[in-house]
Amino acid sequence: MGEASSSTLPLRLLVAAALLAHVATTTSASVSAAPKSRSRSCYGRLFSFGDSLTDTGNFIHYSNAPGSVSRPPYGETFFGRPTGRWSDGRLVVDFIVEKLGFPYWPAYLQAKSPATKDEFRYGANFAVASGTALSQQFFQDEHLNVSEITPYSLGVQIGWFKKVLATIASTDEEREEVMARSLFLVGEIGANDYNHPLFQNKTIGWVRPLVPWVVRSIGLSIEALIDLGAKTIYVPGVFPLGCVPRYLFFFRGSEPGDYDSAGCLKWLNDLTILHNDMLKAKIDELRRDHPGMSITYVEQYDEFLSIIIAPARNGFDVDTVLDACCGGGGPHNANFTIHCSEPGAVQCPDPSKYVSWDGLHLTEAMYKIMARGMLLDGPLAAPLPTDHGPDATTDWQ
């Protein structure tokens, strides 16, 4: 996601469980571990793509005015300082890195120029805050204000990966080995394709037709990775946009009938379901076309919604489950005219009791639950295979 300026047909909710086990790779590599983690992974590298839910520093590296994310209290829970992550601490991708036993590698734009092979020893993160599946030019052609939309869309990020691949693999044989022994995380991506126009006062009737184009773009990027030799790809869906505090603030004048029993906006959640249903169908199509591939859809919608409905089960505060921990005050503490690190912002005393960090992004506590479901118990996706030694530990299990 990232900072943004300011009657659909009913859709059935599909309950997704674990989907398709991985094609296991053949070789393990010993790697230096993240803090408090010692493990050997079946994967040699992790490459990730997406928006601010995955960005670990690309946005603040290229932006001349990175704004609130570059100042405290961002990063306070784990890193103790702002790192370019749009959260109080770690993101899902950080927990994946820990699980694989890798050190926290730098974001792609933080690499030296010219980049060296050693800089991408464990992979790279190409995700950029405010990133979209569709290009910036697409939205400009649709007469949107693109000042808040990064030019580094998913297609551009795939282009960056091709440059990295050429850096670390100079022969076809090397490229084949790198691709076969790497894990690819494509997303979360797509939410900003809807956020940007909605926050520019476009109607749901304007936004809903974008969904097939967004899913098509994600599919093309997955196919590009397959053509390059990728064997294991994870593709997260979008979590319920109708439960996002900033949307609840933005559409605070909605009619009572627009909300579900959890207090979320039904029509926005319907948009999310449509996106996820079409994305799952696209992944099923890709699996049929590429039977030797492991392409795993990561279900986030139902897990997220279950926490909103019963927050206390996971340690979240019932009264503030739809509120931002750090925000500009007002309904849901989500007045986006004042950002989290600006004077006048209202900050909660304990981010671990909140789902939302700044009204648009999540807390480390929430990302930890999402990562655990993906990597350990596997209710969100097929769990990652790792070859742990007898002393292996992961501090967030």
pLDDT tens over the chain, length 397 residues: 754 433 222 222 222 322 222 322 222 222 223 334 334 458 899 999 999 999 999 999 999 889 899 999 999 999 999 999 999 999 999 999 998 899 988 899 998 777 788 899 999 999 999 999 999 999 999 999 999 999 999 999 999 999 999 999 999 999 999 999 999 999 999 999 999 999 999 999 999 999 999 999 999 999 999 999 999 999 999 999 999 999 999 999 999 999 999 999 999 999 999 999 999 999 999 999 999 899 999 999 999 999 999 999 999 999 999 999 999 999 999 999 999 999 999 999 999 999 999 999 999 999 999 998 777 544 455 545 444 333 333 444 4
- Using CA atoms of 373, 237, 355, 344 in order, give the dihedral in degrees to the nearest 10: 150
Distance, in Å, from the CA atom of 41 to the CA atom of 27, rounded to the nearest integer, reads 9
Catalytic annotation, residues: 52, 358, 361
Give the C-alpha separation, 124 to 58, whole Å: 11
Angle between the 364-375 and 301-309 helix axes, to the nearest 10 degrees? 130
Rounded percentage of the chain residues whose pLDDT exceeds 90:
78
Query: Beta strands 386-387 and 29-30: pairing type?
Result: unpaired
pTM as predicted: 0.86
Q: Which residues of 219-239 are buried (b: 16+ CB within 10 A; e: fewer)?
A: bebbebbbebbbbbbbbbbbb
3 state SS of 123 = strand
**For 107-135, how does the pLDDT look when each residue is reduced to its tens digit (9 = 90+)?**
999 987 777 888 999 999 999 999 999 99
Task: Tell me the average pLDDT of the chain.
Answer: 86
CA distance 328 to 13: 33
- In whole angstroms, what is the distance from residue 51 CA to residue 185 CA? 12
**pLDDT for the residue numbered 114:** 76
CB-based contacts of 308: which residues, under 8 Å, 6+ apart? 240, 243, 262, 263, 264, 321, 322, 355
The pLDDT value given to residue 393: 36
What integer pLDDT is reported at residue 380 of this predicted model? 52
8 A C-beta contact, residue 47 and residue 123: yes
Residue 318 tokens read as: 């019932």
CATH number 3.40.50.1110 given to 29-387: yes
Give the model's pLDDT for residue 374. Answer: 79
Burial (0-12, 13-18, 19+ Cβ within 10 Å), 301: buried
Long-range contacts of 308-311 (CB under 8 A, 24+ apart): 308/240, 308/243, 308/262, 308/263, 308/264, 308/355, 309/261, 309/262, 311/355
What number of other Cβ atoms are within 10 A of residue 317's Cβ? 16
> Distance between CA atoms of 61 and 106, rounded to whole angstroms?
11
What pLDDT does 390 receive? 31
Label residue 191 left, alpha or beta by phi (over 0 means left) and psi (-120 to 50 means alpha).
alpha
Q: What is the pLDDT of residues 199-254, one digit of tens each?
A: 999 999 999 999 999 999 999 999 999 999 999 999 999 999 999 999 999 999 99
